[in-house]
Structures are given as structure tokens and as C-alpha cells.
Structure 1
Amino acid sequence: MKRYFYFLIVLFLFVTCNKETNQKGTFGYDLEFLKQHHPDLILLKDLNGSAQIIVLPAYQGRVMTSTSDGEKGLSYGWINHDLIATGAFSEHFTALGGEERFWLGPEGGQFSLFFKKGSDFTFNNWYVPKAIDSEPFNLIFSTNTEAQFEKTMQIKNYSGTLFDLKINRTISLLDQKTIGQLLGIELSSAIRSVGFQSENVLTNIGSEGWEKQSGLLSMWILSMLQSNDQTNVVMPYKKGDSLSLGKIVTDDYFGKLTSDRLKIGDGYLLFKADAKQRSKIGVSPKRALPIAGSYDAKNKVLTIAQFTLSDGITDYVNSAWKLQDNPFEGDAVNAYTDGPIDGKQMGKFYELESSSPALSLEPGKNAKHIHRTIHLSGSTVKLNEISKKLFGLELDQMKF
């Protein structure tokens, strides 16, 4: 009996010591964590389980994170574990994280959705509308590779205009063949990939048309991604004279950027995404191209964002925090990196963002905006070839 008792102890210790656990920073860790707090999460994955993404109905059909290497692989999205664990929502903005979330614009100006009428454009008066911050989207259906959501809402802008609208949002996991076709390349076996697409449709369900003089809305997609000291954003732009195309970049959202944070190259921008200085850049629809990306040299991950961008459409909402002379001369694509403010910081993340044009919709009419996120890892030789094809730059040229 004594020998049997010792045998059980040894067996228990053996099982305990050999039990595999997912380390923080891996997809498996985030999957286990989110299951604890949101058992209704939706897991989309390919047949072999390498490419996976997590989607949460409670967070507006948000893609929380993705991986190209299964549960033991890197988790690409930034997640605010501490805040999610509290189960609480913040007054101004609940920075839950997430690799792709749906917002509405504009943020600032006389048609802002984030400031009440007559208030000053300061942080104390800035509130993210609850419909896109703390309220869930309704799950319509899901499969192994797709999830569709719907949300109706009423929202008021700074000028007092009411908008009744419906959002339909479909998240789709992309297979490797589709990713190759979308990028115009053939992905070799030396490259591991994960890609997903959000198709966002906004419908005017009110009784009146939306007009510029009372304000227009835009769809705004933001991706919060893990940052480190060796991550930089690359943003191609259309070359041409400033008289016809305007300035190359807006670089003073949070103070003018210096050359050690932003490099303006011949047809491309490089932007530090190290989460050491809160900063943001934007490119207008006259200069923008329907692609942006980043390279994480530490983990050897090339990230590509593709999004809807229509030639000839130049009316985009302006999100500057002030009353504006030109409220429809905003950016089509942005990048942001977090950083410390007064000794505090949301997290070590950066964002790739795209917006739809300003939406002038008659009752019953809708508009669509598509945003794709693709991560490629593996052979640096192959990644270098892909980078040259997509951005005209070698990986080493993205370092500065």
C-alpha cells in the first residue's frame, strides 16, 4: 500500500511537470485567456490549425488576434489582458485591444461623433460612442472560416444631426491560395501565413438622406498590433507635385515628427512603430494607395494591410480636434503608435488604419468597405522578395 502511494505521488509529479502550458505572447495563451472571460468567442481556423483567428461578438465582432503557427505560434494582435480581466468598461474609451476593430468617423470637428455639441475639443470631453466601444454586435451565423454580425444604432454628431444606421460585418479567414492571389505572388512552402478580411457594410435606415452641410459618416477600421523596438510601418504614396496632389503626409497629429521617427522616401514613408512616442501619420486619398504594411525585424514578420480605395473619390472626413475649414479633407489611411503620456501608456502597440469615404447615403442605400490583414513569416530570403514586389523595398531598407 505504501509503495502504491509513492507510485501515485511520482505519477502526479511527472504529469504536472510535463504538462504543456502556453506561454504569454503565444496564440494559445490568448485563446485560453479569452475563453475564460468570453466563452462565446468564435475561433476561425484552417484545416491543419496553423492559421487561426479569434473573433468576439461582445466587442463589436472584433478580431482579437491571429497566428500563422497554431497555438504555440506568435499572437499578432495586442490585447489588454488586465482590463479585460476586470470585466469593466471605461468612461471615455475601453482600450481592450484587438487586431481589427470597427469604428465610425469623424473623430473631431463640427461633425464629430466623439464630442458633444458645444464642448471643447479636449480629452476630458472625448467619448467613444458606446455602440462602437462597449455594446456587442449580434452574431448572425458562423462557420469554421467565417462569422457575420449585425448592429443597428442611432448616433448624434457635434452639430446635433441624428443618424439611424445598420452595420453588417463579415469576418473571413483567407486560405493561402487566396492570400497569394490577393498579393499577386506565389507563396512558397518556406512562408507561413495567416490572413483575414472584414467586409463592412453601412446602411442608412433612417427616413432622410445624409448631406454634407449637416455632416457625414465614414467607416473606420483600426488594427492594434504587437510592437517592439524593431518594428516599422511602411506606407507607399502616389508621387507627384503638391499643387495637384497636396502634401505627402500629415505628420503633426500629436506634434511634428522628426526624421528619427518618420522618413519620407521616394514614393514611400517609413514610420517608427516602437510604442515609445505617441504619434500618428496620415495620407490623403489623393496620395494614398490601397496598401500599407510593417516589418517586425525581431520576429521576422511582414504584415500587409489591403483596403478599399476608389479612384477619384476625395471627400474623406476630417478627424482633427478643432472646428474645421475643410471638414471633408481628411486622410484615407493612417498609422499610429502608442507611447507614454504623463507617465502612463495604454500599451506596447501600433495601428494600421483605413477609412471609407464620407458617406452621402439616401434612405435604404448602403456602402461597403473592405480591410484585409495578412501576416507572413519564415524565410527572410522569400520575405525579402515579397517586400520588393509589394513595396519596392528590401527588408533592410525598412530599418531606420
Structure 2
Amino acid sequence: MIKMYLKSTLLFLCVITLISCKNKDSKQSNDTNTNVRKVINEASFEKGTFGYDKDFLQKNYKNTLVLESDDKKAILALSPELQGRVMTSSLNGNKGISFGWLNYDLIASKEIKEHINPTGGEERFWLGPEGGQYSIYFKPGKSFDFKNWYVPKVLDTEGFDVVEHNSNSAVFHKEMHLINYSGTKLDIDVNRKVSLLTKKQITDALQLKTEDFLVVAYETSNVVKNIGNADWKKESGLVSIWLLSMFTPSPETTIVVPIIEGAKSKLGIKVKDDYFGKVAGDRLKKTEQTIYFKADGASRGKIGISPARSTKFMGSYDAKNKTLTILEITAPNPTDSYVNSAWELQKKPYSGDVLNAYNDGPLEDGSQMGPFYELESSSPALALKVGKSYTHAQRIYHFKGKAEILNEIAKKTLKVSIDEINTAFK
């Protein structure tokens, strides 16, 4: 009886051991398969695609948010850690081109720089003016040199709170307390909403006759409120809402800005082209109704369009990838005042621009931040009474489609054809 018991026990233990080994082998096999699938999935996105950038951002910013259309073609990546910034977008899902420029090395390094942290991003929230007696980037009494220029941390390294988030929109909030060059204290409440637009909203807004194209488009609604104890007045310094969009340049990308026609004596200059020294003539072309500016990331320069000359649109065309980018704002009032960002004590601190474009390039020492190019818009100077607010909205559209459809969109928004853009510098 004892022998039979021992024999049965031994047999039972052998069976248990075999089952255990089999389960262990099965678990290891499953783990291995999961890891292989994970590696294959991560490796499937090439650098330059939205999927690659999304994975990179989620690895480095744990709170990265994603907005996407029902068909998952139009998609955005947002960063609460970077002031509710739209980091990048795609019109063809994870495998589509990633439109926003990202500073991979700086982001991955986790380094915090002293003057500015140029992490990149397709649309960031800033405040103007950058220079002058009402600047919020220079401390009182300091000379207007780079060594004294600092982007406020609240616009650079501090995060915004997420108020709401769903599949097609997100709302961010932040309180800011700043002091300008003249010593004026500014207490500001900021609410920023990012909304992914549907195709119907896009075709209705631009009055297009077809939906036969790929597109990603979004609107940001940026509300600034005076929560201080004093009204904001011109004589003590006003701020403006300033939105800057960073994109990847190429030798085949051209910035296009339609302007209002008219005599210089009536409307002023067509374009301000001397922000960082005068832009070379072979990089900037002016006609009666259009400004063309090279966006190749090979020469540093910036241009600006005044409220008297600006329309509600500007954009760029990438001939290599055959993509058209449009920036849209509310049509400016030509009599409104805009802050002047020149790095000097200004005679006319409210003679600034509505629309700006920047092309990155090497500095004198050969170093370069990018390369990238920027499309920018600003609100009027905000003379807000205590408790009052102002909203500045901007829309960014990226289109890809048949030549005749892109041509229709370009003519409707930028007032020129794709052929005219392609031959502007030839």
C-alpha cells in the first residue's frame, strides 16, 4: 500500500513538473512573441513619419495627447508639458509625413538651456513683444543683446494644465505673472483650446467644391484675460498673443504671403525684410499682390506684413512632397495697433506686424538651431481692462491631392497658382 502511494505521488509530481515546464515555456514564448511584435511595430515607422515622432514624444513627454479623425488619417500630437503645444500632425495616419519640426537631440538630452529651449513644435503659444521698452524677454535696464534675452519659463519650460481632452479637442490653462522692460506687472490668465477640424468644416470654411484630397487641419483658440489690479495701457506696455509654427524646410519649399495692393504712400512698405539684417534679393521676391520667401533652412532671415497689407491667409508649398500648407486668421483691421518686437528702444512701439515668416540658417559662428522655417501670426496689442479678455484664433491646414485640386485651394487662399509658386525663384 505504501509502495503504491509513493508510486502515485511520484507520478503526480512528474505530471505537475511537466505541466509547469510547459506553461513556463509557453509564457516565455508568448513574452518573446510580444517583444518581437513590439520591436517590429516600433521599427515600422521611419524617421520623418508621424508614427516615429509620436513614439518619440510619448517616450520623452509622458502626458503627450493624441487627437485623431474617425478614419485615423488626420492626427495631431499635443504636449501639455510644452504649454499645450501642437507638436506635429499628419494627414495620412502614423505612416504619413510628420509636418512639425522637432529638435530630437535637445528633447532626448533632457537638458534645460538658459535662454531658450528650442524643442520645436508645429504651433506654440507665446506673448509679444520680444524687444523694445515693453518687452517681456528683457529685464528692466538691460541692453538688447542675446546675453540678456530670456524666454519666460512659463512660455518655455513650464507645462499647462489639461482642463478637457477627448478624441478631437483639448483645452489647456495657465496663470502667468510677468514684468515687462518698463517694470509693469502683468497678471494673465490663459486658456488654449486645440480642435481637430472635420473635412466638412474645412470645405465649408474655404468654400471648396470637393473633398477629394487628404488633409489635416486644426484650430487653436487662445484666450488671454487681464486678472491683475490695473488696466493694461499703451503708456505702460501692452502684450499680444503670438503663435509660431515650426516646419521642416527643403530646397523646394516656398513661403507665400498674399498682400493688399496699393501705393506705398497709402499702405506703407509691402514687407519688412530687415529683422536680422536685410534678406538677400535672391531669397525674397515681391509682386504687387504676393511675397515669395525661400524656406530652405539655409539662410537666416525674417519678414513681416503690416495690418494695412495683411490678408487673413499665408502659407507654403513643398514641391518635393506636393503638400500645401495654409495659415488662416481673422482678417486684421488695418487701424489696429500691433506690438513692435525690434530689439531696441522704439520710437513706434505699436507699429508691429500681423503676419511673419522666418527661415532658419547658420549663425556667424557656423552653429544652427534648426534647420526649420516658421509661419507666425499675432493678435493686436491688448489694451484690456481688469477682468476683460481677448481671443486670437489661428487655423493650420495641410493638403495633399491632385494638382488641379491643390491649384484651386492655392488660388482661393493665396491668390496664386501652384505653377506661379514653383517658378517664383526660377
Displacement, 1:37? 1.1
For 2:99, what is the secondary structure of its paired residue?
A: coil
For 1:213, what is the secondary structure of its paired residue?
A: coil
Distance 1:142-1:395 versus aligned 2 partners, 3 A rule:
same
Q: Which residue of 1 aligns with 2:306?
A: 284
User: Pairwise mapping of residues 227-306 of structure 1 onto structure 2 (< 5 A)?
Assistant: 227-306=249-328
Q: Which residue of 1 aligns with 2:131?
A: 108
User: Pairwise mapping of residues 141-180 of structure 1 onto structure 2 (< 5 A)?
Assistant: 141-180=164-203
Distance 1:260-1:208 versus aligned 2 partners, 3 A rule:
same
Aligned counterparts of 2:197 and 2:211: Cα–Cα separation in 1: 16
Aligned counterparts of 1:167 and 1:15: Cα–Cα separation in 2: 43
Are 2:332 and 1:310 aligned? Answer: yes
Displacement, 1:188? 3.1
Aligned counterparts of 2:373 and 2:350: Cα–Cα separation in 1: 26
User: Match of 2:214, as an amino acid?
Assistant: R
For 2:281, what is the secondary structure of its paired residue?
A: coil
* CA RMSD after TM alignment: 1.8
Displacement, 1:393? 1.4
User: Pairwise mapping of residues 356-371 of structure 1 onto structure 2 (< 5 A)?
Assistant: 356-371=379-394
Displacement, 1:297? 0.3
Aligned counterparts of 1:369 and 1:390: Cα–Cα separation in 2: 20
Runs of 4+ off more than 4 Å: 11-20
User: Pairwise mapping of residues 151-230 of structure 1 onto structure 2 (< 5 A)?
Assistant: 151-189=174-212, 191-230=213-252
Aligned counterparts of 1:186 and 1:129: Cα–Cα separation in 2: 45
Instruction: Give the TM-score taking structure 1 as reference length.
Output: 0.95
Aligned counterparts of 1:21 and 1:345: Cα–Cα separation in 2: 30
Distance 1:14-1:209 versus aligned 2 partners, 3 A rule:
closer
Q: Residues 37-84 of structure 1: CA distance to partner in whole angstroms, max 9, x if unpaired?
A: 112111000001000000110000000000000000000000111111
Structure 2 residue aligned with 1:335, among 357, 362, 370? 357
Instruction: Give the TM-score taking structure 2 as reference length.
Output: 0.89
Q: Which residue of 2 aligns with 1:21?
A: 44
Are 2:160 and 1:137 aligned? Answer: yes
Aligned counterparts of 2:351 and 2:215: Cα–Cα separation in 1: 36
Gaps in structure 1 of 5+ consecutive residues: none
Gaps in structure 2 of 5+ consecutive residues: 1-24
Displacement, 1:352? 0.4
Q: Which residue of 2 aligns with 1:376?
A: 399
Q: Which residue of 1 aligns with 2:61?
A: 38
Report which of the two structures shows the higher radius of gyration computed on alpha carbons.
2
Aligned counterparts of 2:47 and 2:401: Cα–Cα separation in 1: 21
Displacement, 1:216? 0.3
Aligned counterparts of 2:168 and 2:279: Cα–Cα separation in 1: 41
Aligned counterparts of 1:123 and 1:309: Cα–Cα separation in 2: 34
Distance 1:381-1:361 versus aligned 2 partners, 3 A rule:
same
The aligned length equals 392
